Amino acid sequence: MQTALTLPLSAVARGYTWLTQQLRGTAADRNPTSPLADRAAGALLGTAVGDALGAGYEFTHPTPRTKIDMVGGGVFKWAPGEWTDDTSMMVAVALAADEFGNLHDIQALNGVAAQFITWWDSKPRDIGRQTRQVLSARSKSAGQMWARAGKISGRKGGNGSLMRTAPIGLVYLDDAETCAAAAVLVSSLTHDDERAAEACTIWSLAIRHAVLHGNFDGVGDALSVVDANYWEPLLDQAETAECASAFPRNGWVVHALQTAWWAITHADTLPGALELAVRAGGDTDTTAAIAGALLGARYGASAVPARWRRIVHGYPGLCGDDLAALGVRLVHRQVRQPG
């Protein structure tokens, strides 16, 4: 597995110039259906359709005979196509990014924290234990939220920050280094855990790379900026495992990432990989949302089945087309506001 992450010599100069050429250079690049725009749309839409697909099977272990479809139901009685806390929190991050143009300075991070509290105040049906402990304090700033997350005792490596990381990869197409830093900062708002931060770094960089280049090589490349001795064997295990039972605790961020990567590397299509993520069982909405973000960034929104895109919906009153448009807007915003 390759471990060389190539960073731009200058995010403002070379990276920004390259991105401008990609998004503005030709009529095709300006078209929201161009390959790069399609993949940017796919990162957010993929999160949502994976989430909604898995929602009806959460905390179960589907049998080989179980039909996997976007049927809703489950523990929380979701409507068909309705997304859960996974996508709702991802949307919160994306809306802050859309407002502030980045996800690494304190104003933008305060914006993410505020979006989380707005979502909390909507009284969501489903919210992870660790996230609930943080958001229940109704912190007024990112600093207060980080402090609250740091005070939580016990196990803190849940999958709740990895599930929402897709927008980070879109905001930093021209700057891999800051993308990695932002992944840690946003993850740490609710998850004061080294492995959660590293998982978000890997996935955010992989999403960024997939949008830019249309492949999954960014997963291996990201190992150069995390603890490769820890993560490389785990990724290799996911690629070679016969079934996802090798990663049974997928509420834990490490097994969640492994489950998502196992599904991605054992199927050739976005729908096929998402079905595998759901069939893995356990925290099905989250593992499929995590997988969906990278799958969408690789294959694009055009790879999402039309019915799924048509019926997917959720907080705060958005639909699949809204998410696709938001994803495209995030990458175009970099052209409008360089640096």
Q: What average pLDDT does the structure give for the chain?
A: 91
SS3 for the chain, per residue? CCCCCCCCCCHHHHHHHHHHHHHHCCHHHHCCCCHHHHHHHHHHHHHHHHHHHHHCCCCECCCCCCCCCCCCECCCCECCCECCHHHHHHHHHHHHHHHHCCCCCHHHHHHHHHHHHHHHHCCCCCCCHHHHHHHCCCCCCHHHHHHHHHHCCCCCCECCCHHHCHHHHHHCCCCHHHHHHHHHHHHCCCCCCHHHHHHHHHHHHHHHHHHHHCCCCHHHHHHHHCCHHHHHHHHHHHHHCCCHHHCCCCCEHHHHHHHHHHHHHCCCCHHHHHHHHHHCCECHHHHHHHHHHHHHHHHCHHHCCHHHHHHCEECCCEEHHHHHHHHHHHHHHHHHCCC
% of residues, the chain, pLDDT over 90: 87
Q: What pLDDT is stored for residue 11 in this prediction?
A: 33
Q: What pLDDT is stored for residue 333 in this prediction?
A: 75
Q: What is the mean pLDDT of residues 190-195?
A: 98
Burial class (CB in 10 A: 0-12, 13-18, 19+), 113: buried
Q: Model pTM?
A: 0.91
On the question of pLDDT at 268 being above 50, the answer is yes
On the question of pLDDT at 79 being above 90, the answer is yes
Q: What is the mean pLDDT of residues 257-270?
A: 98
Q: Residue 295's closest CA among 5, 22, 37, 39?
A: 39
Q: pLDDT of 80-96, one tens digit each? A: 999 999 999 999 999 99
Q: pLDDT of 200-254, one tens digit each? A: 999 999 999 999 999 999 999 999 999 999 999 999 999 999 999 999 999 999 9
Q: Are 314 and 326 in contact (CB under 8 A)?
A: no
Q: What pLDDT is stored for residue 277 in this prediction?
A: 98
Sign of CA dihedral 236, 90, 41, 263: positive
On the question of pLDDT at 25 being above 60, the answer is no
Q: What pLDDT is stored for residue 26 in this prediction?
A: 36
Cα within 13 Å of Cα(286), Cβ side:
29
